[in-house]
Amino acid sequence: MTGPRPILEVDALERRFDVSAPWLNRLLEGKPRRSLRAVDGVDFDILPGQTLALVGESGCGKSTIAKLVTGLHAPSGGAIRFNGDPARMQMIFQDPFASLNPRWRVGRIVAEPLRTLFPETPDTQVQARVDELLRTVGLAPADASKFPHEFSGGQRQRISIARALAGEPEFLVCDEPTSALDVSVQAQVLNLMKRLQKEMGLTYLFISHDLSVVRHMADVIAVMYLGRIVEIQPAADLFAKPLHPYTRMLLDTIPDLEAPRRDRAPMGGEVPSPVSPPSGCSFHPRCPLAFGRCQAERPQRLPHVHDRRVACFAAEAAADV
């Protein structure tokens, strides 16, 4: 018996950016063309109603994947299959102030997807829908007459969520939706998103650098490093038994309220340049478990190594013991 069909399928996805010097400089100085591989062979599926979180340090390719999935960037290779109506995919951006038109009133901002996707809708119905959406995200209908600068950061993100919901989406790409907010406001917005997901049957691709945030949100967590997924597991399994050394390093940075004085090893080393990544496993210069093979070969997520959950030679060796 087969399970439900994924709403999103990502297969061997790649995105390269040309970071070469200008043509004349290359000609005069003999410099070669250079490319940055921001996304390097990424694959994952998301089931309807599920939240998959992409986590990792800044520059690992998370936000590039969000833009690829929503069509803001074109893939350099691989495939993205959205098994639904593309018009029912929406995005919540990281900075709610930058993503809202400061010259538009909130009512016009929230109504814009309705007027674009359903142009035949009468103005009275549009207004009623805007009022309903503002109530849904914890704001008042009277807020429709205000401008974005009149709201706090958390309230602006609620406006962004209302705008995303106006298009009646089934799939939301959430690119660091709480990173610009205070911790107390973060919790309010995350709880709102969880409630809306349950009530409306939404599916989320959730981008974050903060494992403590995705622990609250995600069903499945994919850990990215330098453009690749190095580990992907159900959230409960990842926190209980992380398989990749990088995942363990990330988990060790999360504060523990039950043991606030515990020794926590800082993240060692720097993320290598994606323009000239290390040979073999890109994590090996920072990895405490690295050995010779790690410098020469690039690990893959294989079926016989923890059921394709991890790309790591150390984890593969442990699985064989």
Cross-strand partners of 234: 220
**Helix or strand holding residue 41 (H, E):** strand 35-46
Within 13 Å, how many C-alpha atoms sit on residue 80's CB side? 21
Q: Are 251 and 265 in contact (CB under 8 A)?
A: no
Assign domain 8-239 to a CATH class. alpha beta
CA dist., res. 87 & res. 170, Å (int): 9
Res 33: pLDDT: 87
The single-letter code of the amino acid at 39 is V
CA dist., res. 223 & res. 212, Å (int): 13
CA dist., res. 238 & res. 233, Å (int): 6
CB within 8 Å of 107: residues ≥ 6 apart: 127, 130, 144, 145
Q: State the Cα torsion 156-153-221-10 to the nearest 10°.
A: 40
CB within 8 Å of 96: residues ≥ 6 apart: 148, 153, 156, 157, 159, 160, 180
Res 256: pLDDT: 63
**What predicted TM-score, i.e. pTM, was given to this entire model?**
0.90
Phi, psi of 40 (to 5 degrees): -135, 85
Domain chopping of the chain, boundaries: 8-239, 278-321
Please report the sign of the dihedral spanned by the C-alpha atoms of residue 225, residue 213, residue 72, residue 42: positive
- In 3-state terms the chain splits into helix, strand, coil percentages (rounded to 5) of 40, 20, 40
The single-letter code of the amino acid at 178 is T
pLDDT tens, N- to C-terminus, the chain (321 residues): 467 899 999 999 999 999 888 888 888 888 888 889 999 999 999 999 999 999 999 889 999 999 999 999 999 999 999 998 888 999 998 888 888 999 999 999 999 999 999 999 999 999 999 999 999 999 999 999 999 999 999 999 999 999 999 989 999 999 999 887 888 888 899 999 999 999 999 999 999 988 888 988 999 999 999 999 999 999 999 999 999 999 999 998 886 655 555 555 555 667 888 888 899 999 999 999 999 999 999 999 999 889 999 999 999 888 764
Res 24: pLDDT: 82
CB within 8 Å of 240: residues ≥ 6 apart: none
